[in-house]
Structure 1
């Protein structure tokens, strides 16, 4: 097992990065509401630029979540809280916004990853961090297109997967998306768990190096505060944006 050092101070840069990403997410969802609820015409939002914007938010949250897991004391407990928040989002959207329902969204993913990694933590700590990082990246790219019925690396090779895997919500949760499944925010375990693990192993490497450098304490107070309260802000921001969108439609 590698020698890993816990940080002696709070790594406030993580809160700041999480807060900045939250602001980006809120702006993205405000644009989503304007386009899909208010009916605003914005061709750019349907193109590559908006897709890259959305992916940058998701990737950052998932990697940061994986990075923070070795630093926390109760990852399974925290995972249950986040998973429960994901179930709440699913319940609210299914009841009140069924046409825009969220099933197996990013909170469900992050909670599941925290629980699974927390349970496997002792085993994962026996894996050399560099090997774990490279393996996680490779597995992420190999499983990137599982929901489309294939495994492999785009532009190099693809292998079709048996269609019998693509049945039921349980398999859809894993990444084998059943026909007809609909969710406005869908993040299955495959391939995203491996991106989470990449963040986990990057943290392990940083622990081994002792978190050297002053930049780990970099802090922008408003963003840092948001980063420390990210779950509450995540749960509240979309209802607030929805009400603002409806109010704007009514006024204008």
Structure 2
């Protein structure tokens, strides 16, 4: 549903020696992810108007949260293989990730058929868990160099060949696919590779006493079960927000209505009309169209000719004010 998720830490990451600070770091990232998703949910149902996809601060927040999960996934992969690859355990974890990713895709196709999640963060972590095995024993500087190259390639390169639905997951598309959570291999695998390099350079990462008392223990517990937390938190959040929006207790402005108002004001402003007057005229237009009973048909562009003429007259009347 949104652009963030969290894989569980690989088993074997301290099966004999847990690294509580890494668990707590995952827990902090989970809290940040839940806040972001709650804001997405509130905006989607019309209870808020957060500019999640255009505002630089929101974009930076999404990047930071997602990068933190990928960095931790890379660290976990090194710790899980430091005594050699436990194949049964590795493939069980990979199977869980693939199954969870498939479940997220299936749910998104049912709820958002126009923008489904076909390669989100769980898909990415599953793929990166395979690719990352090539780097867990390489020198850290080689892995860091590869991370920088992957980031640069994903940011700067795009080819029509990779626009194919079968190749989009690589990340070299010439356009951004319409998806509620698209985390292609490039450039995002750079986060996993950076985590692998960090764990190689800092073998003691995550060791130490867990700070924060009860809060710290709670964060660490959530971090140890991060896949489960991811799979259940968004349905619960979205369900609560949806119930509030449809309770009738709060006036809700649909996203399409907000979109009309903002685009109407923007078009009006291009005529050098004062902003306050543009907002007044656009509210007038919206009220006039609603009064005709044609608002939904207007938004969906399903008006017949008589209705178009009626609404055209109403718009001209508002413009003459």
Per the shorter chain, which TM-score range?
A: 0.7 to 0.9
1:116 and 1:130 mapped to 2: Cα distance? 17
Contact in 1 for aligned 2:78/2:199 (Cα 8 Å)? yes
Distance 1:93 1:43, change over 3 A: closer
Aligned length: 224
**Structure 1 residue 241 and structure 2 residue 241: aligned?**
no
Of 126, 132, 135, the residue aligned with 2:143 is: 132
Per-residue CA deviations over 1:83-127 (Å, capped at 9, x if unaligned) read: 221111011110133245222011110111112323x36xx51x2
Q: Which runs of 5+ in 1 are unaligned?
A: 1-5, 152-160
Distance 1:25 1:19, change over 3 A: same
Match in the other structure for 1:156: none
| Map of 1:226 onto structure 2 | 222
Aligned partner of 1:94 in structure 2 is 109
Distance 1:63 1:239, change over 3 A: same
Is 1:108 the equivalent of 2:123? yes
Deviations 1:115-159 (A, max 9, x none): 2323x36xx51x2223322x13421332232xxxx33xxxxxxxx
Structure whose alpha-carbon radius of gyration is higher: 2
1:24 aligns with 2:32: yes
- Between the aligned partners of 2:31 and 2:125, the Cα distance in structure 1 is 19
8 Å contact from structure 2 (residues 119, 183) kept in 1 = yes
In 1, Cα distance between equivalents of 2:98 and 2:189: 14
In the superposition, the TM-score normalised over structure 2's length comes to: 0.64
- Runs of 4+ residues over 4 Å off in structure 1: 43-46
Greater RCO between the two (CA within 8 Å, min separation 6)?
1
Native 8 Å contact 1:10 1:217 kept in 2:
no
Q: Take 1:35 and 1:162, find their aligned partners in 2: how far apart are those partners?
A: 33
Q: Is the 8 A contact 1:168 1:178 kept in 2?
A: no
How many Å separate the matches in 2 of 1:69 and 1:44? Answer: 31
TM-aligned CA distance change 1:217 to 1:140, over 3 Å: farther
Name the TM-score, length of structure 1 as normaliser. 0.80
Give structure 2 stretches of 5+ with no counterpart: 1-12, 81-85, 250-321
